[in-house]
Structure 1
Amino acid sequence: MANLEGEENYKEAVEEGEKGKEEASSSTVIGLRRYDSLDIEAAKFTSERSSKNEDWGKIMALAFQSLGVVYGDLGTSPLYVISSIFTDGIKHKDDILGVLSLIYYTITLIPLVKYVLIVLQATDNGHGGTFALYSLICRHSEVGLIPSQQAEDGEVSNFKLELPNNRSERASKIKTALESTMFAKYFLLIFTMLGTAMVIGDGILTPCISVLSAVSGLQQAGSTLNEDKMAWISVAILILLFMLQRFGTDKVGYSFAPIITVWFISITGIGIFNFFKYDPWVFKAVNPMYIVDYFRRNGKAAWVSLGGVVLCVTGVEALFADVGHFSVKSIQVSMCGLVYPSLIFAYTGQASYLRENMGDVASIFYKSIPKSLYWPMFVVSVLAAIIASQAMISGTFSIIQQSLYLGCFPRVKIVQTSTKYEGQVYIPEMNYIIMIMCVLITLGFKNTVKIGNAYGIAVVFVMTLTSGYMVLIMLMIWKLSIINVILYVLVFGSMELVYLSSVLYKFIDGGYIPIGFAVFLVAVMLIWNYVYRMKYMYEMENRVPTEKVTEIVSDPSLQRIPGFGFFYSELVKGIPPIFNHYIANVPALHSVLVFVSVKSLPISRVPSDERFLFRRVGPRELFLFRCIARYGYKELRSNEQETFEFLLVQGLKDFIKQETINMNPQIDEDLEVVEREMKKGVIHLFGESEVVARRDSNWLKTIIIDYGYNCLKRNTRQQNEVFTIPHHRLLKVGMNVEL
C-alpha cells in the first residue's frame, strides 16, 4: 500500500507539471531521475566494494586496525571468565577439563562459525548490527509502521540488492505474512528495540567488569587494598574515561591496535608457557565427552555455571556491528589469524595452571602470570580494559544514533568526533547517563562475579536476537533450503537458548539490572515511537492539497517578502497542515520557499548524489519547491564543513539546471533569482506541534501522550538543534494538535 502511495505521489509531480507548462512536466521527471536513480553511481559503488575486498594489502591493514576497535571486549574476557564459572571453587580436578571443553566449543561455534562465517554475510551494504538485519527485512517486506515509503526510494543505488532468480513460494508466503499482520510488524519493532536496549546495557556493563577485573591485579600483587578501595580506583578510571569521550577516539585511535596486539601476543605467550610448565595433557579437552562428564558430576550446578562460560564470547556482537568500519574479509582475517588462536591458548594455559593450583581459581588470570611479567601485564591489562570500554561506549552512541533516526528514540545531540573515521560519534546526554550507571553498578557490586551475572543476560539476549533475524533472512532473502535453516536453529538456536536459561537463573544475583534497564528503555522508545507515528498520521490525514497551496500563494493579499525560506516538517508526502496555520497568522512568504522533509531510509547510507529529491509546487513563477532529504541510519544530519543549508541550496541549483536543461534563458533567470534571494537572507521555519490527548481518549493514552511523551520532549533536544541551525535565523511555528 505504501509503495502505491509513493507511485501516486510521483504521478502527482508529473501531473502538476502538466498543469503549468509542458516543459515543466518533462523537466520535473528529469529532475527526479537525476536524484533518484544513478546507474553509473551504482556500478561505481559495486566496483569499489569488490576492489576493496580483492586488495589484500588493504585487507591486512584493515585487519590490523580492527584489533583495537572490534576485539577489545572479546579479547579481555580471559580476565574474568574462569573465576566467574567456579564461583564456589573447584570440586573435582576433571571439572577443569569439562569447563575448558565448553569454552573451546563456545568460542568455536559462536564467534568463529556463526558470526565470522555466516552472520557476516548478512551485511547491509557492508554495515552490520541489529539495525542492519532489521533494515534488510524492511527492504524486502513492508513491515515499517510509518507510511513514508515512496517508489523513488527503491531507485537509490545501494537500496537495490542482488536477489536470487529462483524466488521460492515459501519466501513469498513469509513476506505476505509479515506484511499482512500488525502483530508481526510490532513484534519485529519491539524485538529490535529490545536488542538495542540490551546492546546499550552491554555498553554500560563492559566498562564496569573490564576495568574492575584489570584493577584487581593490584590486590593480587600483595596490596592491602580492600574491595571498597578497588571499586573507588575503578570508578576514578571510569570517570576519567567518560570525561575524555567528548574529544573522540581519533587522536588516540592509532595506539589502540598496537596495544591490543601486544595484549593478544602476551596472553598467547603466557598461555603457552603455562601449558608446557603445568599440564600439557589439558588439551585433551577437545574431546566433548568431558562436557558430558562435567554435567554428570555436577548436575544443576554445571547448568548454572554456563552463565560464566558464555562470558568468553562477550563482545562477539562487535564482530558484526563494527564490520562497516572495515570489511568482511578483514574481520575474518583478524579473527582467524590472531584473535581465535590467542583466546584458545590463553584459556588452555589458565586451565593447565589450575590443574596444579586449584585454590587460585578466584584470581586465576593474575596468579597464572610469571612473576617477572606481572607488572608489565598489569599495565597492558588496564590499557586493554580501557580500550574495550571505549569501543563499547562508542558502539552504544552509534546504536542510539540509529534508533534516533528511525524515530525510535528521543532527540539527542549527535556530535561527529572524527573527520577521518565514520561512525565515531559522541552524545553528551547519554555519556553522562551511562557514566552515572557505571559508577553506581561498580560501587554497588564491587566485584566481577555479580556484574558477570548481569553481563551474561545482555550478551546472550543479543546473540539470540541475531539468530532470530538470521532465520528470517535465510528463509525470505537468501532462500536457503529448509534443511539448512533447521540445522542452523538446532546448532545455534538450541545452544543459545540453553545459555539464556542459565543466565536468567541468576536474575536475583544481578541479572535484573540489564532486564530492568531494557524494560525502561524499551518503554521510553515505545512511547516516543507511538506518538511520533500518531503525529505523522495526523499530518498525513490533514495535509494541504497542492492546488490549495497554489491558490494561497497566488492570492494578491499574500505578501512575498525578500529572502529565502526553508519550511521544515517530517511529512514526506504533501504539504504539512502547519503551513495553513502559519499563513493564517502571518500572511507573508519569502520570495523563494522550499518545503523540506528529512527522511530515514532502511539502509546504512545514501550516496551524496542521491541525497535530495526536488520538485516544484505549482507554476514556475511562484518559486515554491518541495525537497525530501534522505539519509541512512548511520549518517549524521549535519556537518561543520558542509552545512545542511549549503547542501540544500546546491541541490536546488542542480535541480533547476536539470529541470530546464533545454531552456538556457530560464536556467540563468531562475539561478539568478535563487542567488539574489540567498543574499537577502535565509530563514529556517520549523513546525513544532504541541500534542495532547483528545478529551475522549482512555486513561492509558492520556498518560502516554500528556505525561510520558511531553516529559521526554521537554527534556530532550529540539529538531533545530539536531541540524545546528543558528538561532538568529530560526523561526518556530507552533500549533496544538489533539491525537
Structure 2
Amino acid sequence: MGSSHTNSGLSLRSTKFHLITLAALGVVFGDIGTSPLYALKECFSPDHGIAFSPGAVLGIISMLFWSISIVVTIKYVMFVLRADNNGEGGVLALMALSLRSAISGSPRAKLLMMLGVFGACMFYGDVVITPAISVLSAVEGLEIAAPSTAHAVIPLTLAIVVVLFLIQRHGTSVVGRFFGPVMFLWFLSLALLGLYNIVKAPEVLVAINPYYAVHFMAEHSLQAFIVLGSVVLVLTGAEALYADMGHFGIKPIRYAWLFTVMPSLLINYFGQGANLIANPKAITNPFYLMIPEPLVLPMVVLATCATVIASQAVISGAFSLTSQAILLGFVPRMRILHTSEDEQGQIYIPLINWMLLVVVVAVVLAFKKSDNLAAAYGVAVTTTMVITTMLLGVVMRHIWKWRMPAVVVAIGCFLVVDVAFFAANLLKLTEGGWFPLVIGGAAFFLLMTWYSGRMLLRMRIKDDGIPIEPFIEGLLAHPPHRVGGTAVFMTGNIATVPVALLHNLKHNRILHERVFFLKISIWDVPYVADSERLTMKELGGDVYLLRAAFGFKEAPEVQKVMTLTEQQFGHHFDLMDTSFFLARDTVVPSKLLGMSLWRERLFAWMYQNGAKPSDFFHIPANRVVELGTKVEI
C-alpha cells in the first residue's frame, strides 16, 4: 500500500517536472532556439572576406560547436545558474547578490551597481532587436518558397510585430499554453532536418574536434576574428536561461537545455554545414535551403510561430525587468497591470509596450533585412555577457567563498571568450553595432539620473525633517482636537515627521484618534515572507510606526499591509473610516550642490510624470488626501 502511494507521488512529481520543462522550452529558449535561421548565414557573409571551402565550413561549424559548449553549457548552465538570489536570476538579481559583498555607498558598491544597471539597460537593446531580426529572418523564407512574394516581407513582418504588441495587454497565460508544444515541435524539426542533411556529407561531424576551429583561426587570423562577431549569434538568448530561472527553477532549465535544446541546435548546425559541403550554392540562405522543397512553406509558418514566441519571451522579460527596476529605485513609478490572477509574474506595462512597438517598427523600416541587424544584435548580447561574467566573479569570491586562484582561473577563461566576442563585435559599430549601445546608453543615463535625483530628494527631505519621536511626544503632551477614524501617513523616512502630517496639523488643526506612519521598503530579495514583512512600534496615544517590506518581484499593495497588520497585531482597518495622507512633492531644480541643473530639470520632469503613489500602492482613490509641498534639489 505504502509502495503504491510512493510510486504515485513520484509519478505526479515526474509529470509536473516534465510539464514545467515543456513550459520552459516555450519561454526560456525561444531566442537561442531561433538562431539557426540567421547565424550560419551571417558567418559566411561576403563582408568577412572568407573564401568558401569545405575547410572553412568545418572551421566555422567547429567554432559554433565550441562556443555553445563553453559559453552556454559550461558558463551559464554549470556556473551562472548557481548564482541565484533566493531562486531568482537575471543581471539585476546578480547585481543585488554581489552588492552584499560591498559596504553601502562605497565606491565599490557604486561600481557594482552601475555594472548591473548597464547590463540591464543593454537588455533593452536586445528586446528591440529580437522581434525585428527573428521575425524578419523567418518571413524571409517566403523569398525561397515563392520568390514573387519578396516585396511582401517587410509589410508582413510589420503586421506580425504590430499584432504581437497589441495582444500584450491580454497577457500570455492563454497563448502561453501553446508555447511549449510549438517550441518542442520546432526543436524536433531542427534535429530531423539536421539529421536529414548530415547524411549528405557525414564528414562534417569531424568538426567536433577543436583542432578545426583553432586551425581556421590560425589560417585566417583577421578574417576569423571578424567572423567571431557573427559566431556569437548562436549564443543570443543565453542570458534568458538565467533571467527566467525564477519562473521555472534550475533543474527544468538544465534538463531542457541538455536533453532537447542543445542537441537539436547542434545537429541542425552540423546539418547546415553538411548541406553547404554538398551544395555550396545554399550559402545564400543555409537554413531554408537545407529543407526539402515541399516542406519550405510549412517551415516558414513554424519558424514564424517560433520567432513570435521568442519575441514574446523578451517582451515579457522587459516588463519584468522594468518592474524590478522600479522597485529597486532606478525607474519612475509606472502603471503596472497584472494579467493573470494565478501567476504573479505575468504583468503588462502600457508605456513600455508602446515605446517598444514604435522603436521595433522603426528598426524594421530602417534596417530592412535580417543581415543588416545581425551586427547590432551581437553588441547587445556580448556586452551583457561580459558584465554577467564580471559580477559572477564577485559572487564566486565573496558569496561562495571560493579561493582567489580558482576564481581567477574560472573567470579568466570565461572573460577571454567573452571579451574576444565583444571585441569582434566592436568592429561592427559602424554597420549597426552603435544602435544597441545608443539605446543602452540612453536608458543607463535616464536610470542613473532618476536614481541620483531620488537620493538627492531623500537627502533634502531628511535634512529639513523634524525628528519624529520627540515631535510626537510634544504633540501628545498638548494634543490638538482628535477626530474619529484612522489616518495613515505614507512616508519615505520613519526618522522624520511626514510633511503631510505637518500640513494637516497646520491647516486642519486635528489629529485622528488612531495614526499610522507607514513606510514601504523594497529589499534586495525577490520575495519577503509574510512573517518577516511587518514591524510596528507604538509611539503612545494610539500613534504607531509601521514598516512593511516587499521583495523586488512583488507588488507593494497597501491593502495587503492592512490585512497583515490586523492578523499580526490585531488592528482592524475599516476602509470607509480610514484616510491615506500623501505628500505630493514638487521638485524645484536649483544651484544647490547635487547634479547639473539640466539633469535636475530632467529628473523634475520624470518625477512629475511618474505614476501617482496612490495608483502604485493600490490605495482606493476615494480614501486619498494629497498635500503638496516644494523641495529644492
The equivalent of 1:78 in structure 2 is 36
Q: Within 1, Cα distance between the matches of 2:550 and 2:354?
A: 27
Q: What secondary structure sits across from 2:275 in the alignment? A: helix
Q: Which amino acid aligns with 2:569?
A: I
**TM-superposition CA deviations, 1:396-440 (whole Å, max 9, x none):** 110111111011011111111122223211110000001111000
| 2:71 matches 1:106 | no
| 2:52 matches 1:92 | yes
1:331 Cα shift?
1.1
Range with bigger deviation, 197-206 or 563-572: 563-572
Range with bigger deviation, 679-688 or 208-217: 679-688
The equivalent of 1:397 in structure 2 is 319
**TM-superposition CA deviations, 1:185-234 (whole Å, max 9, x none):** 2211211111111111111111111100111111111232346x312211
Q: Within 1, Cα distance between the matches of 2:283 and 2:475?
A: 79
Q: Within 2, Cα distance between the matches of 1:368 and 1:730?
A: 64
**TM-superposition CA deviations, 1:696-721 (whole Å, max 9, x none):** 558x522222x111121233312222
1:372 Cα shift?
2.7
Q: Which amino acid aligns with 2:596?
A: K
The equivalent of 1:704 in structure 2 is 599
Paired positions, count: 620
Matches within 5 A, 1:558-597: 558-597=480-519
Q: What secondary structure sits across from 1:690 in the alignment? A: strand
The equivalent of 2:279 in structure 1 is 357
Matches within 5 A, 1:190-201: 190-201=114-125
Q: Within 1, Cα distance between the matches of 2:593 and 2:617?
A: 34
CA 1:501–1:577 in structure 2 vs 1: closer, same or farther (change >3 Å)?
A: same
Q: Within 2, Cα distance between the matches of 1:656 and 1:355?
A: 74
| 2:148 matches 1:254 | no
Q: Within 2, Cα distance between the matches of 1:91 and 1:222?
A: 29
Q: What secondary structure sits across from 1:735 in the alignment? A: strand
Question: Conserved in 2, the CA contact under 8 Å of 1:124 and 1:132?
Answer: yes
Question: Conserved in 1, the CA contact under 8 Å of 2:330 and 2:448?
Answer: yes
Q: What secondary structure sits across from 2:172 in the alignment? A: coil
The equivalent of 2:408 in structure 1 is 486
Structure 2 unaligned segments of length 5 or more: list them: 1-8
| 2:524 matches 1:630 | no
Q: Which amino acid aligns with 1:115?
A: Y
| 2:87 matches 1:126 | yes
CA 1:552–1:362 in structure 2 vs 1: closer, same or farther (change >3 Å)?
A: farther
Question: Conserved in 2, the CA contact under 8 Å of 1:72 and 1:387?
Answer: yes
The equivalent of 1:210 in structure 2 is 134
The equivalent of 2:309 in structure 1 is 387
Q: Within 2, Cα distance between the matches of 1:257 and 1:712?
A: 39
Matches within 5 A, 1:288-327: 288-327=210-249
Q: Which amino acid aligns with 2:585?
A: S
Q: Within 2, Cα distance between the matches of 1:223 and 1:554?
A: 87
The equivalent of 2:564 in structure 1 is 651
The equivalent of 2:26 in structure 1 is 68
The equivalent of 2:153 in structure 1 is 230
The equivalent of 2:5 in structure 1 is none
The equivalent of 1:40 in structure 2 is none
Q: What secondary structure sits across from 1:225 in the alignment? A: helix
Of 590, 602, 615, which residue of structure 2 is paired with 1:721?
Answer: 615
Q: Within 2, Cα distance between the matches of 1:316 and 1:536?
A: 38
Question: Conserved in 2, the CA contact under 8 Å of 1:564 and 1:680?
Answer: no
Q: Which amino acid aligns with 2:629?
A: M
Q: Which amino acid aligns with 1:107?
A: I
Q: Within 1, Cα distance between the matches of 2:441 and 2:591?
A: 29
| 2:275 matches 1:275 | no
Q: Within 1, Cα distance between the matches of 2:575 and 2:442?
A: 49
Of 498, 520, 524, which residue of structure 2 is paired with 1:598?
Answer: 520
**TM-superposition CA deviations, 1:124-164 (whole Å, max 9, x none):** 11111112212222334433x4xxxxxxxxxxxxxxxxxxx
Question: Conserved in 2, the CA contact under 8 Å of 1:601 and 1:630?
Answer: yes
1:356 Cα shift?
2.2
Q: Within 1, Cα distance between the matches of 2:414 and 2:591?
A: 51
1:394 Cα shift?
0.2
Q: Within 2, Cα distance between the matches of 1:628 and 1:436?
A: 40
CA 1:304–1:716 in structure 2 vs 1: closer, same or farther (change >3 Å)?
A: same
1:537 Cα shift?
1.9
Q: Within 2, Cα distance between the matches of 1:714 and 1:450?
A: 39
Q: Within 2, Cα distance between the matches of 1:574 and 1:56?
A: 54
Q: Percent identity?
A: 30
- Which structure has more relative contact order (CA 8 Å, sep 6+)? It is 1
Q: What secondary structure sits across from 2:335 in the alignment? A: coil
Question: Conserved in 2, the CA contact under 8 Å of 1:539 and 1:576?
Answer: no
Question: Conserved in 1, the CA contact under 8 Å of 2:499 and 2:583?
Answer: no
1:61 Cα shift?
2.6
| 2:632 matches 1:738 | yes
Q: What secondary structure sits across from 1:605 in the alignment? A: coil
Q: Within 2, Cα distance between the matches of 1:564 and 1:184?
A: 44
Q: Which amino acid aligns with 2:162?
A: I
Q: Which amino acid aligns with 2:213?
A: I
CA 1:543–1:513 in structure 2 vs 1: closer, same or farther (change >3 Å)?
A: farther
Q: What secondary structure sits across from 2:164 in the alignment? A: helix
Question: Conserved in 2, the CA contact under 8 Å of 1:123 and 1:133?
Answer: yes
Q: Within 2, Cα distance between the matches of 1:185 and 1:656?
A: 37
Q: Which amino acid aligns with 1:681?
A: D
Range with bigger deviation, 418-427 or 628-637: 418-427
Q: Within 2, Cα distance between the matches of 1:564 and 1:223?
A: 72
1:574 Cα shift?
4.4
Question: Conserved in 2, the CA contact under 8 Å of 1:592 and 1:624?
Answer: yes
TM-score, length-scaled by structure 1: 0.81
Q: What secondary structure sits across from 1:294 in the alignment? A: helix
Matches within 5 A, 1:408-557: 408-541=330-463, 542-556=465-479
1:76 Cα shift?
0.7
Question: Conserved in 2, the CA contact under 8 Å of 1:78 and 1:347?
Answer: yes
Question: Conserved in 2, the CA contact under 8 Å of 1:325 and 1:422?
Answer: no
Q: Which amino acid aligns with 1:231?
A: I
